[in-house]
Structure 1
Amino acid sequence: MLGLRTGDPRDPHRAPPRPPVAAGSRAVALWLAATLVTLGTVAALSAQALGHHLVLRTDEEIEKYRGVQLTEAAGVPGPNERPALDRSCLILVLDSTGRVTGRYAGAPGMPSFPSLAPARLAALAARGHPVGIGGTYRALVVRPRGPAPDRDRTYVVIARSMADAHQAVTRLLRAEAAASLVLLAAVACGARWLGGRAARQRLDSERRLREFLAAAGHELRNPLTTISGYAQLARVGHPSSERMREEAFGRMSTEVERMTSLIDELVLLSELDLGRSLRVRYVDLAELCRAAVTAARDCHPEHPVRLLVAPGEHTVAGDPLRLHQVVANLLANARTHTPPGTTTTLGLGTEDDHRVIEVTDDGPGVPDALRARIFDRFVRGEGASAGGGGSTGSGLGLSIVAAIAAAHGGTVTLEPSDRGAWFRVRLPAGP
């Protein structure tokens, strides 16, 4: 619509923003659903595994009674020594019609054994291994050893009650249900907290993006305004004012260079944020620091720079151009925020499995109000100016240092110092 900018909250065609709370609630629901499905699957598999294990163990116990005890239960003489029946074992002697003629139980009060038809008895006897009977027993049906007439008319059923096994599986499921409820509550709390944190991070990211765009627009607008002003001055100036026009063109050229540098830095930061723009190779930090110090001394002799390199290897795997930029930006930052004559010290050493680059100076130091956000973008101290060296005039120099260090798996910190500023870069050591 006319008169409305893209993204204007009054624009009827603009999609309403998604409330962070609703997004967090959906995330919690998804977490809970996934956890519930996982817990249900684990409970089912564990119960099935326990039941299968108990069935195998029951069948093994039944097989112990196949020989000696079965012959005795059928009335056929057998060895004198045999183990007593355990409490869950039941031995039945059945005739050919399925009628019970003998019963031997390990404990009183055992569940009644289901009646078996003659055809079923014959089929179970022919099978020769334990099977489930009525859901309450595992049973083995065999013909007793002995004279043929007795063997043909008699069946021996060795059965074990599955009540204990069923109780064990039930206890497992109850324990898993209780644990699942506790875990679901913990997951719900954790997901709620994570969802809230994600929503807060999203809002914070959007706020920082708005601040970044506003700051970037301001920084780009300044040189454009200067260029526009001097262009108008040169256009309307008198022909005799040649010196004024040359000065105007010189200032416009300076502002163009400043704007180009700012755009290059913004592009570099965006590439580092996306994980690009690194050409990794083995870099000798000692040689790199020497080159940076030589350049600083040649270009800015009014700011003395000392170099202290500890003995040993100082190799890292990284992008030499970006690592040089780290050192150059730190030196430029010290130069911009300290008066002429202030000594800056560049140190290089090893700490554990990291290479450590330190830049210290004898200047006024970093104000306490600035320390917490010193590596944020477009943050400048009182001494920064557009005409400073390196990239300090844009307020992006230290943020570029932090981004490059992070891209190399390292860190940069502002250490406490009694005098001046103390910046410390840690990079993983190369092989």
Structure 2
Amino acid sequence: METPGRRRRLRWWPRSLYWRLALGFLAITTIGVAAADVYAARALAEGLRNRLDQQLASIRQDRLDELESSSDLEPAGATAVVLLTDAIGRVVQRESGAMVERAVIRLSGADLDRMATTGRAGAVGPAPMRAVVEKLPDGGYLVVAESTADDAATVHNLVVIEAVSGVPLIAGVVLGALYFSRRTISPLKEITATARRFAAEGAPSQRVSAPVSTAEVEALADAFNAMLGRVDEEFNRRRKAEEQLRDFVGAASHELRTPLTAIGGYAQLVRFGALDDPARLDDAMRRVQNETRRMSVLVDELLLLARLDQGRPLECRPVDLAELCADAVADTRVTAPDRPVTLVVEPGPHVVTGDPDRLRQVVTNLLANVVAHTAHDVPAEVRVGREGDEQIVDVIDGGPGIPEELRERVFERFFRAGGGPARPALRDDHPAPGSGLGLSIVAAIAAAHSGSVRVEASESGAWFRVRLPALTGA
């Protein structure tokens, strides 16, 4: 958890990703350039010091060779000083180059002894000099020193050059960082703008169309567009579901109102004594009974659709489609004796897993659809076959067929090709048309069994094809 003190310490740090990237580039570049400059300066100083130490060692060896042959010292170089001292550091003889004639070197006896013991070159003062010391056999010391002013000037010039060139380099890197940061951030700004438009307008059909600059931004844009796509699909699905629910409630209310109106009308006739004739009263009661039965069937169908929509589990056991279709065809021949109905079963087993009562209702409803919408002498055919891992049930009639523009809508609830609601039967030999739920029940039952039903293209008549997963190993 972030503490108030930590928030105060980080308040100076910008919240904008753009400026954070720019400041990050600036900090990294500055540290990198400064580290490189320091390293270069130190490396140059170390190299010059090593070279100077080699020169001092060479001069010392030359002077030792001279002292072995004679007691006089040769003149030193322009920047070198050669001294002969006694045991306590007093200068006995000095040879100085032209550029260091006035250079002062102060070394005590202890300093001379220490430097002679180590044999390594070291800085001496007060002048900017570096010297090596060699102890002589007579107890004195040979001191060879050389000025480090030129080397220091060289290092100083390098530092100046690095400083002068480093500032434009850092400025160029920062400008480049700002440019590329802006290009990198621009798709994120487009995503943010799209999200704000979506939040303000509620239009999930919008998509991010900013140019993609990096793989990460591309992945973010794709994920954001995919999310908007899912939201768009869910929005459309919910809107469609709400529209279907409104249509469903309106149609169900209309369907129930029709028999209820008829029942209420006959009840008022009885109440006001308009049906004093026993024959008329018996006919009215028969009509009330028919309307009650039709309303009961409608309610049962609605309850069945509600159960199927809720995904309630159905009975699950092996079902022989050939036997089931044979029973449905036999029932149709009894209820419609004038209609020629044939059954064609391809060789082989036709077993699926499911609820036998509901699967039988599928075939029964399809045959009832043929009976309700075609003439009494129009032939019908039921075929049972198999395609791959699916069992096929075809119900085909020789009627006028279904127009192509209505083939996808026939499975909608309360949909009728005529477009109007069901009307009550006026006479017993003219039954009322169906409620418009038969084919929607067929589609719901097929979907509950992981299958499907659709209207196939046919040159004549209507062709319904039901596909169900075949039972493996049947």
> Would you call these one fold, judging by a TM-score over 0.5?
yes
Residues 32-77 of structure 1 deviation map (CA, whole Å, 9 limit, x = unaligned): xxxxxxxxxxxxxxxxxxxxxxxxxxxxxxxxxxxxxxxxxxxxxx
> Which one is further off, 231-240 or 329-338?
231-240
1:195, CA displacement in angstroms?
1.1
Q: Which residue of 1 aligns with 2:458?
A: 417
Q: How does 1:342-381 map to 2 (within 5 A)?
A: 342-381=378-417
Q: Which residue of 2 aligns with 1:259?
A: 295
Q: Which amino acid aligns with 1:187?
A: A
Q: Which residue of 2 aligns with 1:186?
A: 222
1:240, CA displacement in angstroms?
4.5
Partners in 2 of 1:298 and 1:345 — Cα distance?
15
Q: Which residue of 2 aligns with 1:132?
A: none
1:302, CA displacement in angstroms?
2.1
Partners in 2 of 1:251 and 1:277 — Cα distance?
37
RMSD (Å), alpha carbons: 2.5
1:390, CA displacement in angstroms?
11
SS state at 1:279 partner: coil
Q: Which amino acid aligns with 1:398?
A: L
- The answer as to whether partners of 2:258 and 2:423 remain within 8 angstroms in 1 is no
1:247 to 283, 289, 294: 283
Partners in 1 of 2:229 and 2:274 — Cα distance?
69
- The answer as to whether partners of 2:258 and 2:424 remain within 8 angstroms in 1 is no
Residues 145-196 of structure 1 deviation map (CA, whole Å, 9 limit, x = unaligned): xxxxxxxxxxxxxxxxxxxxxxxxxxxxx9xx94221100111111112212
Partners in 2 of 1:270 and 1:408 — Cα distance?
16
1:197, CA displacement in angstroms?
2.0
Partners in 2 of 1:361 and 1:178 — Cα distance?
61
1:201, CA displacement in angstroms?
1.5
> Which one is further off, 244-253 or 190-199?
190-199
Q: Which residue of 1 aligns with 2:175?
A: none
SS state at 1:275 partner: coil
1:394 aligns with 2:435: yes
1:319, CA displacement in angstroms?
0.2
1:305, CA displacement in angstroms?
0.8
Partners in 2 of 1:209 and 1:245 — Cα distance?
39
SS state at 1:347 partner: strand
Q: Which residue of 2 aligns with 1:36?
A: none
Per the alignment, do residues 391 and 370 of structure 1 end up closer, same or farther by CA in structure 2, a change over 3 Å counting? farther
1:417, CA displacement in angstroms?
0.7
Partners in 1 of 2:356 and 2:253 — Cα distance?
31
Partners in 1 of 2:312 and 2:458 — Cα distance?
34
- The answer as to whether partners of 1:386 and 1:394 remain within 8 angstroms in 2 is no
Q: Which residue of 1 aligns with 2:235?
A: 199
Q: Which amino acid aligns with 1:426?
A: R
The share of aligned pairs that are identical, in percent, is 48
1:386, CA displacement in angstroms?
6.0
Q: How many residues are treated as equivalent by the alignment?
A: 257
Q: Which residue of 1 aligns with 2:373?
A: 337
Partners in 1 of 2:432 and 2:391 — Cα distance?
24
Partners in 2 of 1:256 and 1:414 — Cα distance?
33
1:370, CA displacement in angstroms?
2.2
Per the alignment, do residues 289 and 389 of structure 1 end up closer, same or farther by CA in structure 2, a change over 3 Å counting? farther
SS state at 2:434 partner: helix
Q: Which amino acid aligns with 1:263?
A: V
SS state at 1:393 partner: coil
Q: Which residue of 2 aligns with 1:268?
A: 304
Partners in 2 of 1:249 and 1:406 — Cα distance?
40
- The answer as to whether partners of 2:365 and 2:439 remain within 8 angstroms in 1 is yes
- The answer as to whether partners of 1:375 and 1:402 remain within 8 angstroms in 2 is yes
Q: Which amino acid aligns with 2:245?
A: L
Q: Which residue of 2 aligns with 1:318?
A: 354
Partners in 2 of 1:203 and 1:306 — Cα distance?
44
Q: Which residue of 1 aligns with 2:163?
A: none
Partners in 2 of 1:189 and 1:382 — Cα distance?
42
Runs of 4+ that moved beyond 4 A: 383-392
Q: Which amino acid aligns with 1:415?
A: E
Q: How does 1:110-149 map to 2 (within 5 A)?
A: none
SS state at 2:468 partner: strand
SS state at 2:395 partner: strand
Partners in 2 of 1:269 and 1:377 — Cα distance?
10
Per the alignment, do residues 320 and 300 of structure 1 end up closer, same or farther by CA in structure 2, a change over 3 Å counting? same
Per the alignment, do residues 246 and 324 of structure 1 end up closer, same or farther by CA in structure 2, a change over 3 Å counting? same
Partners in 2 of 1:233 and 1:361 — Cα distance?
43
Per the alignment, do residues 385 and 421 of structure 1 end up closer, same or farther by CA in structure 2, a change over 3 Å counting? farther
1:382 aligns with 2:418: yes
1:303, CA displacement in angstroms?
2.0
Per the alignment, do residues 247 and 392 of structure 1 end up closer, same or farther by CA in structure 2, a change over 3 Å counting? closer
Structure 2 unaligned residues grouped into runs of 5+: 1-119, 121-183, 185-212
Q: Which residue of 2 aligns with 1:427?
A: 468
Residues 52-109 of structure 1 deviation map (CA, whole Å, 9 limit, x = unaligned): xxxxxxxxxxxxxxxxxxxxxxxxxxxxxxxxxxxxxxxxxxxxxxxxx9xxxxxxxx
Q: How does 1:35-54 map to 2 (within 5 A)?
A: none
Q: Which amino acid aligns with 1:397?
A: G
Structure 1 unaligned residues grouped into runs of 5+: 1-100, 102-173
Partners in 2 of 1:393 and 1:239 — Cα distance?
29
Q: Which amino acid aligns with 2:383?
A: G
Q: Which residue of 2 aligns with 1:170?
A: none
Q: Which amino acid aligns with 1:409?
A: S
Partners in 2 of 1:415 and 1:373 — Cα distance?
13
Task: Tell me which structure has the larger Cα radius of gyration.
Answer: 2
Partners in 1 of 2:273 and 2:241 — Cα distance?
47
Q: Which residue of 1 aligns with 2:253?
A: 217
Per the alignment, do residues 390 and 194 of structure 1 end up closer, same or farther by CA in structure 2, a change over 3 Å counting? farther
SS state at 1:375 partner: coil
- The answer as to whether partners of 1:386 and 1:393 remain within 8 angstroms in 2 is no
